[in-house]
Structure 1
Amino acid sequence: MNDAARSENMRPLARLVARWRSSLLSLLLVAALAGALQGAYAAWRARADNAAISALAAGRDVETDSASAPELIAARAGFLAARAQFDKARALLEPLDSAGREELSAIAHYDLGNALLRNAFDLLERGQLEPAGPFVELARREYRRALQFRPEFWDAKYNLDVAARLVRDNPELEHSGGDELPADPKKIWTDIPGAPKGLP
């Protein structure tokens, strides 16, 4: 086979390689552009989240939703808890717990527990023992939740012990049974006619 024939046979292969190289370069260009756009969006989102967290730290509320960054949700939960908006703060903890960021969840539950316990102490200092009880119980629950996410969380263990001692020293603080009211031990028998009086 002479050089001219060999060259003629190589042309289709060369055209195929050129076409393949052109397609590959186009794909690489598209992938690089997509990566650059994704990186730019992530950087913009991080800046926006950091600005929102800074606003919360400065005392300005910022709306969040379940799609917000876990760090922003944790910061807003702490913001709300510090302002005694306990129900709103607790509502944010569920999407945070679902995000799988155990360290952030532990800190958020711990912060809410601290806010609840501070509220209980304020009530106790004013001599309002009965309203303080549910806050102590809720604080204990939040500390336990923090320890579920991070069992070695020493501060949560310590504060759980403080709350437990409060209940131990003041048994009337213990609130159990959900929405049920505790039975008065002096009224064991009902006042329905025909019910026995005195001891059984």
Structure 2
Amino acid sequence: MIEALRAKLLEVWRAQRSLLLVVACLGFALATGFECIEWRRAIMTNDVIEGLRAGRDIRVDPEARPEALLARIAFLTKRNELDQARGLLEALDHAGDAQTRAPGHYLLANALLLSALEHVEKLELDAASPFANLSKREYRRALQLNPEFWDAKFNIDVAARLLRDFPDYERKSGDELSADPNKLWTDIPGKPKGLP
């Protein structure tokens, strides 16, 4: 029985050998073509990232790779173009993994916190409050995506303390957290490791 099966397979191989080899070659050619396209897309993405890092204003499609979206968000937040950065962050949330999305939220939170600090320096506390609250929300989102993101833990503490330390600022609404003066890390989610 095994000999009969073996003979049948040899007969099929002899009859269809050319066709099977052509199909195998076409399959390898398609796989190679696909890999070349992916390689070219990776090179183009790297060129976009390097251009953005160099300070060139390169437009990035919301359907682009997550790495390019993150580089564009970094470019926009450096220039305080927060609305455009927020739009790309939504696209990044749909396309990227948690390790790419967390830095995007962190970058936007940093830009919002800087805006809040600018208002605080001018003693415009009412104008600083929304920026501080939005930055805390973005830091929390970054920490949800990456709980070990220590910089986000530190900065959310800064954002939480920013306005409440002013004695003349009376908070009537917003994101108020109760603070126990006996605890050092009152506002940081999770358990911090090490010293501040």
1:78-122 alpha-carbon deviations (Å, 9 max, x no partner):
111111111110111122112241011111111111111112112
3-state SS of paired residue (1:159): helix
3-state SS of paired residue (2:164): helix
CA distance in 2, matches of 1:28, 1:132: 65
1:47-105 alpha-carbon deviations (Å, 9 max, x no partner):
10000001110111222223200000011011111111111101111221122410111
TM-score, normalization by structure 1: 0.76
Given that residues 106 and 149 in structure 1 are in contact (C-alpha distance below 8 angstroms), is that contact kept between their aligned partners in structure 2? yes
Task: Write the mapping of 1:1-200 to structure 2, written as runs, cut at 5 A.
Answer: 16-170=12-166, 171-172=169-170, 176=174
CA distance in 1, matches of 2:114, 2:170: 18
Using the aligned pairs only, state the percent identity.
43
1:7-48 alpha-carbon deviations (Å, 9 max, x no partner):
xxx9x9977433322121111101111111111111111110
Where does the alignment leave 5 or more consecutive residues of structure 1 unmatched? 1-9, 178-200
Asked which structure has the greater CA Rg, the reply is 1
CA distance in 2, matches of 1:97, 1:120: 24
Counterpart code for 2:65? A
CA distance in 2, matches of 1:105, 1:175: 29
Provide closer, same or farther for how the CA distance between residues 125 and 142 of structure 1 changes in structure 2, counting only shifts above 3 A.
same
Counterpart code for 1:65? D
Mean Cα displacement is larger for which, 16-25 or 79-88? Answer: 16-25
Given that residues 121 and 132 in structure 1 are in contact (C-alpha distance below 8 angstroms), is that contact kept between their aligned partners in structure 2? yes
TM-score, normalization by structure 2: 0.77
